[in-house]
């Protein structure tokens, strides 16, 4: 029998007393014990803050992202070992794929997200705020890692994904983690954490593990910590109201099980592909992980004239589901996570039978392949019919956390929306319809009570990730019963672990703090042209003031012929009455192109290519006779770990440089008087950010 170990303060050790027995969900046999007796939670928290935190905070976002990528690659190479362990949780190979490779996929996703952050230990958020008339006083927001620990209290249903989808986010932010998986399936989490620690990819203190009880750990949280909980709403609310959480104002992200729903649109008939999509989606969500998903479909909302068709089609599909030992060929649904979970589901089903009837499934009459259904935690899919869901409301309040769902009728799409909201907040809802008008009505009407809404039709069904699959780049959470929290969500998720602080000062000061050029900052001038310098030698704020150029009528005509853009404002002076233009005006794209002719250094050098333009604006018209110049400034430098491949096959290391192209009016006063131009010489007439790839000096 295996005794699970906790990983705390840099050491693996078992609890000092016999702990909770852990069972094989398929055979019912005891496979180990888990205890945290003797683990000092206060020391674990302090170890994370004093050892793991400083090491992570010294790394830049780019370095943290590459760390996640390396870890993902390592865990992927060990995935078959994890699948072998996962069998004892009752999961099929497909179920475990979602848990194991889905969790590793989160690491890959957040590793890629590093490209959206600067090559700094911090980042900034949003746009600059101009706080003074002459732009000598501005404001911005800097975001720095919290100097605490992320404490993750996870559910039993996804022992790998539940951990990795959270730690990927806090590690990218620069915050260490203590993970507390549900003890019943913690043996799989332990197997993954052992590989993580053995890999030595993470800095020491970045991850600690509690396999036994974590009762009392919240007594030691501080205001720089973050606590997340996934599980039942009852337990979540109890933890969220812990005195220490309230006293220290500790952020608490609650993601609770919810009564998610799937709606069949009023436009769908049994002959349409959307009907088959609906039946397939509902059946999959009932049987995947044996219905033990926080996103599983608990309420099947169907037009009243389609209830019988849905009941028959769903019954036929579920009858084809082979239940049993996941290692046996042909088995499509495993067991619940344990006998205790089975007993809990039976109790909830019993409560639901008081207000609605079972139309599919029987706890006694079902077959199990390759296992003893009396020893393992097996049960068949159970489908209820609630003919009056507005009156009999238990289905909107009681959740049986297994392969259990309820069909309920509705008359109009407004009724479907109302029924969806009666769940009092859920993680996800879906609607299957071929009519985008119905989809729009449902989404706008139901969105306030759901964290995510999936709209399925024949066009997207084949590539859809499905009702029950949260995606790393989108928020996972929901209002009301679902907890009111958010997990993942791309950059949004990372900001949960950062302190956003408003900073104020001169543009030059804010530039020097953020290492990102702010408009109006003092320039750095060098004798050498910026395009003659390698990536390492360029400085943020370095500026080239170009020669100027006078725009002519011929320029406008030539550009119109070359580009094909013969918009009347450039070509037809007789059509300008009632417009903002005093006479025919130069094309904005000509001005930007001509600006490039002023700041580009033609000979071959370290700048290899221009691959994009951001935030391009044309702020004032340029007429023939006016003169332009360019203030060309290094705005920001970004690391790039993917080298270019030259024509000769050699790899060339490059960095990404953002440049501010500030095109300004440098017209003589007599020209300005003639054209009756307002403002002063030197005013910006166009501005853009261009991105270039610049060769690095070091190519080894």
Give catalytic residues, as residue numbers: 255, 294
Q: Which of helix, strand or coil describes residue 402?
A: coil
> Comparing C-alpha atoms, which of 218, 208, 215, 228 is closest to residue 248?
218
Phi, psi (deg, nearest 5) at residue 357: -115, 145
Tokens of 578: 């009632």
Which pairs from 79-84 meet CB under 8 Å and 24+ separation?
Answer: 79/104, 81/191, 81/195, 82/160, 82/188, 82/191, 82/192
> Comparing C-alpha atoms, which of 276, 283, 301 is closest to residue 429?
301
| Cα separation, 282 vs 484, whole angstroms | 25
Q: Is the dihedral angle over the CA atoms 213, 216, 222, 227 positive or is it negative?
A: positive
Residues with Cβ within 8 Å of 432's Cβ and at least 6 positions away in sequence, in order, are 262, 263, 264, 265, 268, 274, 277, 278, 281, 456, 457
Tokens of 420: 């969806």
> Comparing C-alpha atoms, which of 396, 399, 359 is closest to residue 380?
359
| Cα separation, 33 vs 184, whole angstroms | 9
Half-sphere exposure of 230 (CA within 13 A, CB side): 25
| Cα separation, 625 vs 627, whole angstroms | 7
Q: Which of helix, strand or coil describes residue 1?
A: coil
- Region label for 656, one of left (φ > 0), alpha (ψ between -120 and 50) or beta (otherwise): beta
CA dihedral 532, 536, 539, 540 (to 10 degrees): 110
| Cα separation, 450 vs 448, whole angstroms | 6
| Cα separation, 658 vs 633, whole angstroms | 9
Tokens of 161: 């994904």
644 close to 607: Cβ distance less than 8 angstroms: no
């Amino acid at each position: 029998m295996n005794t699970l170990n906790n990983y705390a303060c840099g050491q693996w050790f078992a609890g000092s007393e016999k702990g909770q027995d852990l069972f094989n969900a398929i055979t019912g046999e005891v496979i180990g014990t888990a205890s945290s007796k003797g683990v000092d939670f206060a020391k674990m928290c302090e170890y994370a803050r004093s050892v793991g935190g400083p090491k992570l905070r010294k790394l830049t976002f780019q370095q943290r992202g590459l760390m996640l990528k390396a870890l993902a690659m390592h865990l992927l190479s060990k995935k078959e070992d994890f699948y072998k362990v996962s069998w004892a949780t009752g999961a099929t190979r497909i179920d475990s794929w979602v848990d194991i490779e889905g969790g590793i996929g989160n690491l890959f996703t957040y590793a890629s997200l590093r490209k959206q952050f600067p090559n700094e230990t911090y980042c900034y958020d949003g746009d600059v705020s101009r706080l003074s008339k002459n732009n000598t006083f501005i404001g911005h927001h800097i975001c720095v890692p919290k100097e605490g620990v992320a404490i993750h209290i996870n559910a039993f249903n996804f022992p790998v994904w539940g951990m990795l989808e959270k730690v990927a986010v806090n590690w990218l932010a620069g915050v260490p983690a203590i993970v507390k998986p549900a003890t019943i399936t913690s043996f799989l989490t332990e197997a993954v954490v052992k590989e993580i620690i053995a890999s030595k990819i993470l800095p020491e203190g970045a991850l600690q593990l509690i396999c036994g009880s974590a009762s009392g750990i919240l007594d030691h949280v501080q205001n720089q910590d973050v606590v997340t909980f996934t599980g039942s709403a009852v337990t979540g609310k109890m933890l969220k109201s812990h005195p220490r959480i309230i006293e220290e104002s500790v952020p608490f992200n609650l993601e609770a099980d919810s009564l998610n729903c799937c709606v069949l649109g009023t436009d769908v008939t049994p002959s349409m592909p959307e009907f088959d999509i609906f039946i397939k989606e509902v059946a999959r969500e009932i049987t995947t992980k044996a219905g033990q998903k926080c996103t599983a479909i608990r309420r099947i909302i169907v037009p009243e004239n389609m209830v019988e068709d849905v009941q028959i089609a769903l019954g036929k599909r579920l009858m084809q589901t082979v239940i049993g030992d996941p290692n046996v060929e042909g088995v499509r649904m495993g067991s619940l996570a344990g006998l205790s979970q089975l007993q809990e589901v039976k109790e909830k089903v019993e409560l639901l039978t008081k207000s609605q009837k079972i139309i599919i499934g029987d706890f006694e009459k079902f077959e199990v392949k390759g296992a003893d259904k009396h020893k393992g935690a097996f049960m068949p899919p159970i489908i209820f019919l609630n003919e009056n869901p507005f009156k009999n409301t238990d289905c909107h309040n009681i959740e049986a956390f297994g392969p259990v769902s309820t069909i309920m009728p509705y008359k109009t799409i407004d009724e479907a929306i109302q029924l969806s909201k009666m769940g009092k907040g859920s993680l996800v809802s879906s609607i299957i319809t071929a009519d985008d008008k119905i989809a729009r009505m449902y989404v706008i009407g139901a969105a306030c009570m759901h964290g995510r809404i999936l709209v399925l039709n024949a066009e997207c069904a084949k590539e859809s990730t499905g009702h029950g699959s949260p995606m790393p780049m989108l928020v996972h959470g929901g209002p009301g019963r679902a907890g009111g929290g958010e997990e993942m969500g791309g950059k949004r998720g990372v900001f949960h672990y950062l302190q956003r602080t408003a900073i104020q000062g001169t543009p030059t000061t804010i530039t020097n703090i953020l290492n990102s050029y702010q408009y109006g900052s003092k320039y750095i001038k060098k004798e050498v042209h910026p395009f003659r310098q390698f990536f390492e030698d360029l400085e943020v704020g370095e500026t080239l003031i170009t020669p100027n150029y006078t725009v002519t009528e011929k320029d406008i005509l030539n550009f119109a012929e070359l580009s094909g853009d013969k918009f009347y404002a450039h070509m037809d002076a007789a059509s300008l009455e009632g417009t903002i233009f005093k006479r025919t005006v130069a094309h904005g794209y000509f001005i930007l192109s001509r600006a490039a002719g002023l700041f580009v250094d033609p000979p071959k050098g370290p700048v290899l290519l221009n691959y994009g333009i951001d935030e391009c604006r044309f702020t004032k018209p340029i007429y023939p006779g006016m003169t332009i110049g360019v203030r060309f400034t290094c705005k920001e430098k970004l690391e790039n770990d993917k080298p270019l491949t030259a024509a000769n096959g050699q790899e060339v290391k490059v960095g990404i440089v953002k440049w501010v192209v500030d095109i300004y009016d440098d017209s003589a006063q007599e020209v300005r008087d003639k054209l009756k131009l307002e403002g002063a010489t030197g005013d910006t007439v166009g501005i853009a950010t261009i991105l270039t790839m610049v060769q690095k000096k070091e190519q080894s």
